[in-house]
Structure 1
Amino acid sequence: MTTAPLSGSRAQLEDAATQWAALAPRLAARGRVRLSPDGGRNYPRRGERRITAQLPSQPAAVLLYDDNGCAPCLVLDLDTSSGGHDAVERDFRSLSGLLSRSGAVWFSDSSPSLGRHVYVPLAEPLPLADARALVSRLALLHPTLDPLPLASIASGCVRPPGAWHRSGGHQLLDQPLEAAVATFARPTTPRALAALGDLLPPAPAPHVDQDADALPDRLTPLRGYNEPDQDFQHIARTGDGWQDRYATPSEARQAVLWACVASGWALVDVVRRLEDGTWSGLASLYARYAPTQRRRSVLRDWNNALRHERQRREQPRKESVRVRPTSALKSQRGQAPGTVNQQVREWLTAVDLLLAPGTDLALRATLYALAEAAVLTDSLTVEHGNRSLAIALGVDQRTVGRALKQLLAEPADRALIDLVEPAAGTRANVYQLTIPPLLQPACAAKPWRRGRIHAVRPVFRELGLSAAFVYAALEQAETARGGRDIAASARLGVTATYEALQVLSTHGLATRTPAGWVLGDASLTQLAEAWGIVEEIRAQIARYREERRAWWAWLNRRAPLSLVRDESSPATPPPELGWIPEPPPDDDDESALEILERILGGHVIEQRTA
């Protein structure tokens, strides 16, 4: 669907640009802004940029939480969709009266849709839990107040003054610009914020369990498990999801640290994630402490977690601990250029020769997923279902199905895969990677592709396939390269390449130097962890697992599973696993296929003998 063209008078545009330049950088807690690719409906992470004083030419929203999980400005969004313009104006009058009576300092703007944003700059940034609780209490009195802008550290954002609106106008101030700018010089104090809380309905008192058991001394972390359960990592990363399990933020952060201790982590593992922004949710649970006291508080809680874990392990156990048997992941690191490895790299040369710029990126990515699977199984014959390939690519299985159907329909002189054996029962299609005969000499003569072979690494689920191919092109480059050279190597258009470079640069994955573009210093693994992408992969795997079980049940009602499965395969679907997963490997290139192996505790299906 195309978006309506942005419009507005020249005078309004000039006012909007001035307001953006003066206020948007002040409101952007992380110095970041997200551009909307669909005219203001959504603000995905792949549209994230470093904010500048220049007004973007499309709807844009600033992120409201800093790297410590705190909001430097309380932003209240009154939305006409919850009652219309009259309801918004009624709530605005009530809200402005409460803010003025409490001594808070604020300013506001209006949108073309007649909604309003109220901005309350804070002398002390407000942690996620406190900001969310305050907004919830305000919403009890103001039905049009939308809590979403301050509901999430990762995605909490709002269009600032001057920003384009989806209807074509701008967010414009209700007060003179000088008055709005002045609020940042005299922000709302904690006393005024407390006075505002006194004017609101009380929040339900949480139930706090009392536990005064004596704890033993500090204990060196045990190495029984490898990483905290994903529920605890979700709390640490987002600051969300603890309210239904723990009565207070203190209990929630203590639980996260206990999970780290039980997993054999060292304190430095936690501190690093707190200080580099990976665990901004956990940082927000410590925001009540001054920065100089935060490490001391973390150390105290860490010691408590160590004592608790030691006591738990010293107590007699009534049940055994479930430990998942694991095997080493198949890795391309340090792999000798054996026959299959060489043939796969030559096959990828054929892929690049045949697929011109403008080819469907999902189709290209599917081919790279088959290449990665071939290297992992050491076989040019790959038995992978659409769902397994979808996990490797971060797309829906129907997208993979369409791509494979298109590839199999190619004429013989362009065929890159051949269907060796169609799917039957619980067995997936078996594909053979093939190089068209006319291309074989050229593929054999070209230098091998450097480095590991990847499908789509997890972080590019968020940043997009164009960014994935551009990043791969930078990996292959031995020196800095210009944008057009990168476009040719990535087999993308020049415009798409520069847009992808901007996305990569925003997240530290690409750097522009005087000589050209080079890889950035940011870690793919750290970004994937901070954005919760492994959690997303787990959810996709769980959904596909249930679909697969339903398929097995359907087959079993019509024929014994032994007739449709190899005798070496289990006769019943695998049970749910309750283990704590292994950590990612030390290298920064773990793929979704390898995450699939790690999460499921298995390995990629080997080549099947006839």
Structure 2
Amino acid sequence: MDTSKARKAVVDDDANKLAALFNRAGIRYVEDFSPSGGRHIYVPLQEPIAAPEARELIEALMLRTASLDPGPHQNITDGCIRVPGSAHKYGGYQMLLTPLAEAYDTLKRRNSASVINALRQMLAPEIRRAHAARRRMQRLIPSQPGAQEADTPARGQHSPLRSVALTGVYDTERYTSDSEARMAVLNHFAACNWTLDQVRAGMNGTFAGLTALYGSKADRLLILEWNKATSWITERQPSKAHPQKTAHNYNTSLTKPTGGTDWVPVSSPVAMR
């Protein structure tokens, strides 16, 4: 889990999600953390699995964890990572979280094929989604001799503002502060006819990035900012008494020599960013 992909709060939340998932599957693992705030989880295996099988599992886990970096498992030539005790390029060392004796026992005994199959069954919906996304990408990209296989577009399925809600990471050239970024997300949800309860449920689940944008201020600011978002969207929606016109207004006077008619374009509704 990488802090370049999501805020540290999201990284920590993703690590907890994976730990809970692995515990339910009966998987033993070793965990460490980086001076940059990133996290590694190692799942040692008794029997090796093929690279495509490992990639399939990782890309399924991507759909549950916004900060997961799939790079080390998406090819067979690159993607080395720092193991516990390694020096970090920004100073400090990769630190082991799992107690040393437990880590040693896990690396010695390792995980059987049966618990990996249990994990695969638990991830069956995400595996199907990842396969469907890959098929869509392959239809969009013409096949060329020698071309490398396209990465899964799993993350790209989300709109930019949904990605902000997932990761807490936003374009600083577009939004100058956490406040602006989270208001853009709330405006987006309000435009999608979400309720405040749905937003709260998302912040307690999938949208950990939006929670990170609030920090400790969610209880104080969420209702206030949600009311602002719903008011802003309501003001920009055409009323039922005065529905927005979609047809051109044609002049019924005699046509000009050129044969054309004058028409007045009706302004389009304000688009959500």
Quickly name the TM-score band, shorter chain normalised: 0.3 to 0.5
Q: Which has the higher contact order (CA 8 A, sep 6+)?
A: 2
TM-score (norm 1): 0.22
Task: Decide which structure has the larger Cα Rg and report it.
Answer: 1
